[in-house]
Amino acid sequence: MSHFTNIPKIQYEGPSSKNPFAFKHYNPDETVAGKPMRDHMRFAAAYWHVMRNGLSDPFGGPTALMPWDDQSNSLDNALKRADVFFEFLDKTGIDYYCFHDRDIAPELENLAKSNDALEKVTEHLLGLQKASGKKLLWGTACLFSHPRYAQGAGTSPSADVFAYGAAQVKAAMDATHKLGGEGYTFWGGREGYATLLNTDMKRELDHLAAMLWLAVDYAKKIGFTGQFYIEPKPREPSTHQYDSDAAACLNFLRQYGLMDHFKLNIETNHATLAGHTMLHELTVAIDAGALGSIDANQGDELIGWDTDEFPTDLYLTTSIMLKVLEMGGFTTGGLNFDAKRRRESHEPEDLFHAHIGGMDAFARGLKAAVAIREDRRLADFVANRYATWNSGIGAKIEGKSVTLEEVAAHALSAGEPVLASGRQELLKNIVNEFI
């Protein structure tokens, strides 16, 4: 039975098409820079936004029409939603999805019953995956919605809450493993503090690391070889979250010896909230060899919270794809639309417009990024800008084969340095040639 009866399977019709249910730029099987577009992007749909987001905001309740959903917390309702979701994946041509345990299955009276429901839904999802060829990009546990996590999960002052969270992680990892998930994500929604007056920060961070180590060890035990990710976000819901940005996450991973086991899942709107550009966060992650995956969305400059809009900004998608190409493409990761419709876009068809727009925006970003790289003017400029490091005193400093006295002697003999222009305006003009 179809739940999106008026919506066709979305096909590529090219830039001149006026059909709102067609791709104008995303042509999944078209080869760009050596591989099909679908493999560059590895698009994923977020179960929580597509199936579970009623579109409420801090001032008003849900508006989204979900005629397939009876609004009950029953297993039956959860199973039916999964069918609808797979129809959505089929019609949009999105190859991957991501979930939290509590999006796909209900939280019931106790942990044993919730675990049981999760197993049943997982079984059902496995059947849907096999029938469709769709794949799981990553799974995760929701350790932030239930009131028990109000003071954190891994960082809770209560060891029993930690244990409950760990049990959820175990079950969510089992589900992810069963579904052949290529990754497992930790987003620490409540892993932070509201005031240091009641907080032992060092102890909380030790506990958070302990949670991650338990997961790493458990993965080995069950043979889960997927990639672990941490997703940085600076605030909201907490006042201060420990995983505040890419640099903070990397510092945490290094401090607790977890660098070999984790990569970062970088989300655009979280970068914005951290006071960084997405380009900055991606650069920090890539330079550490730790960019794993991307939560694709964008924020609103006029609203100070995590608005999770669908990515439509071509400068943004171009800069993201420049970075993805620079690192040689995704391996386990992809572009997960952690994005929701606006509250007033409440009809089911808006789900399609939203994802079509995001996919087309990334297709244009990919093509622009490939052209910018082939053109080479940007890359050559950057390489040239550092030319004084290629020989002479620069090469000696980089090679660590010089003393401070020798460097000082160089400065004395070389005289006042001559700086070349940074040419920011020219470089922006060059980027604009391709967008």
Active site residues: 100, 103
Tell me whether residue 100 or residue 124 sits nearer to ligand XUL (CB atom): 100
Q: Among 259, 269, 277, 262, which Cα is nearest to 215's?
A: 262
Tell me whether residue 124 or residue 323 sits nearer to Co ion (CB atom): 323
Do the beta carbons of residue 318 and residue 365 sit within 8 Å? yes
Tokens (6 digits) for 204: 């909380």
- Residue whose CB is nearest to ligand XUL in the complex, by number: 187
CA dist., res. 379 & res. 176, Å (int): 40
Q: How far is the CB of 97 from Co ion (least distance, A)?
A: 13
* Count of residues of this chain found to bind Co ion when the rule CB under 5 A is applied: 3
Binding mask 262-301 for ligand XUL (x = CB under 6 A): -----x---------------------------x------
Quick check: 43 binds ligand XUL (CB under 6 A)?
no
Quick check: 338 binds ligand XUL (CB under 6 A)?
yes
Q: How far is the CB of 262 from ligand XUL (least distance, A)?
A: 15
Quick check: 267 binds Co ion (CB under 5 A)?
yes
Quick check: 103 binds ligand XUL (CB under 6 A)?
no
Quick check: 52 binds ligand XUL (CB under 6 A)?
no
Tokens (6 digits) for 322: 């420049």
Phi/psi for 302 (5° steps) reads -95, -5
Say how many C-beta atoms besides its own lie within 10 A of residue 53's C-beta. 20
Using CB under 5 A, which residues numbered 84 to 103 contact Co ion?
none
Quick check: 187 binds ligand XUL (CB under 6 A)?
yes
Tokens (6 digits) for 418: 């001559």
Strands 192-193 and 240-241: antiparallel
Q: Of 24, 42, 124, 233, which one interacts with ligand XUL (CB under 6 A)?
A: 233
Tell me whether residue 28 or residue 358 sits nearer to Co ion (CB atom): 358
Quick check: 338 binds Co ion (CB under 5 A)?
yes
Q: How far is the CB of 12 from Co ion (least distance, A)?
A: 28
Total count of residues recorded for the chain: 435
Q: State the binding partner of 306 from ligand XUL, Co ion, none, CB within 5 to 8 A by kind.
A: ligand XUL
325 alpha-carbon distance from chain centroid:
16
Q: State the binding partner of 174 from ligand XUL, Co ion, none, CB within 5 to 8 A by kind.
A: none
Q: State the binding partner of 360 from Co ion, ligand XUL, none, CB within 5 to 8 A by kind.
A: none
**Is 135 strand, coil or helix?**
strand
CA dist., res. 214 & res. 230, Å (int): 15
* Count of residues of this chain found to bind ligand XUL when the rule CB under 6 A is applied: 10
Q: Among 260, 262, 294, which Cα is nearest to 278's?
A: 294
Q: How far is the CB of 431 from ligand XUL (least distance, A)?
A: 28
Q: State the binding partner of 233 from Co ion, ligand XUL, none, CB within 5 to 8 A by kind.
A: ligand XUL
Q: Among 226, 268, 270, 222, which Cα is nearest to 248's?
A: 270
Q: State the binding partner of 140 from ligand XUL, Co ion, none, CB within 5 to 8 A by kind.
A: ligand XUL
Q: Of 101, 103, 231, 360, which one interacts with ligand XUL (CB under 6 A)?
A: 231
Say how many C-beta atoms besides its own lie within 10 A of residue 227's C-beta. 19
Quick check: 281 binds Co ion (CB under 5 A)?
no
Tell me whether residue 3 or residue 233 sits nearer to ligand XUL (CB atom): 233
Tell me whether residue 304 or residue 392 sits nearer to ligand XUL (CB atom): 304
Q: What is the 3-state secondary structure (H, E, C) of 33-76?
A: CCEEHHHHHCEEEEHHHHHHCCCCECCECCCCCCCCCCCCCCHH
Q: Which residues does 45 contact at the CB level (< 8 Å), separation at least 6?
A: 85, 88, 89, 92, 94, 96, 97, 98, 336, 337, 355
**Is 342 strand, coil or helix?**
coil
Tell me whether residue 243 or residue 267 sits nearer to Co ion (CB atom): 267
Contact set with Co ion (CB under 5 A): 267, 295, 338
Contact set with ligand XUL (CB under 6 A): 100, 140, 185, 187, 231, 233, 267, 295, 306, 338
